[in-house]
Amino acid sequence: MALTKIIGSGIGTVTNQFADANMSAGSVVQAVTVVESNSFSTTSGTYADVISKAITPSSTSSKILIMAVIHGSAQVSNLTLRLAIHRDGTALTGQFNNYAASAGFIAQAIPCIELDSPATTSEVTYSIKGKVAAGSGTVSSGAVCTLTLLEIAG
């Protein structure tokens, strides 16, 4: 389909009509994603980095939708793995428990989804971190993990 430019008086102006600041609430302003196969391993109650990505919101009223799928495996003995989404090193309220298993080897894909309101136009880094919350064993990920950040107009 061809694009047509209309020239004439009295038609108004469209200057900056499609700028990020003019997007209606709920519109996706930008999307960033990272896909990694880096391994993480944890056996203690300390969070270990799994995957992270930075985004710079265009407005302080924007929300960031964080969506991740973490592929992990565990050799477990009554082990509970806890995943948490962090913004600039601080855990958000949502935590995702998985691997509540009694014994043996488990491999699983774990989804993590959170909606955040960073209230800034400075760069923020979101990360998924994992730790063993109960039991004993080693959790690792050598499979592909994905993290997608969507800026939603506020």
DSSP character string of 10-33:
TS---TTTTSGGGSPTT-EEEEEE
List Cβ neighbours of 59 (8 Å cut-off, separation of 6 or more).
20, 21, 29, 121, 153, 154
Per-residue pLDDT at 82 exceeds 70: yes
For residue 53, what are the domain limits? 20-152
Q: How many domains does the chain have?
A: 1
The rounded mean pLDDT for the chain is 78
φ, ψ at 77 (rounded to 5°): -145, 100
C-alpha to C-alpha distance for 82 and 100, rounded to whole angstroms: 10
The whole model's pTM is what? 0.76
C-alpha to C-alpha distance for 66 and 59, rounded to whole angstroms: 17
Asked if residue 13 is part of any domain, the answer here is: no
* pLDDT tens for each residue of 34-70: 998 766 777 777 788 889 999 999 999 999 999 998 8
Asked if residue 6 is part of any domain, the answer here is: no
Asked if residue 12 is part of any domain, the answer here is: no
Q: Give the pairing type, strands 124-140 and 145-152.
A: unpaired
Per-residue pLDDT at 3 exceeds 70: no
CATH (domain of 58)? 2.60.120.1340
Lowest mean pLDDT among 7-11, 40-44, 136-140, 146-150: 7-11
Binned at pLDDT 50, 70 and 90, residue 153 comes out as very high
Binned at pLDDT 50, 70 and 90, residue 93 comes out as confident
Angle at 139 between CA 94 and CA 40, to 5 degrees: 80
Mean pLDDT of 96-122: 76
Asked if residue 143 is part of any domain, the answer here is: yes
C-alpha to C-alpha distance for 19 and 71, rounded to whole angstroms: 37
Per-residue pLDDT at 115 exceeds 90: yes
The pLDDT, as a whole number, for residue 154 is 86
Binned at pLDDT 50, 70 and 90, residue 100 comes out as low
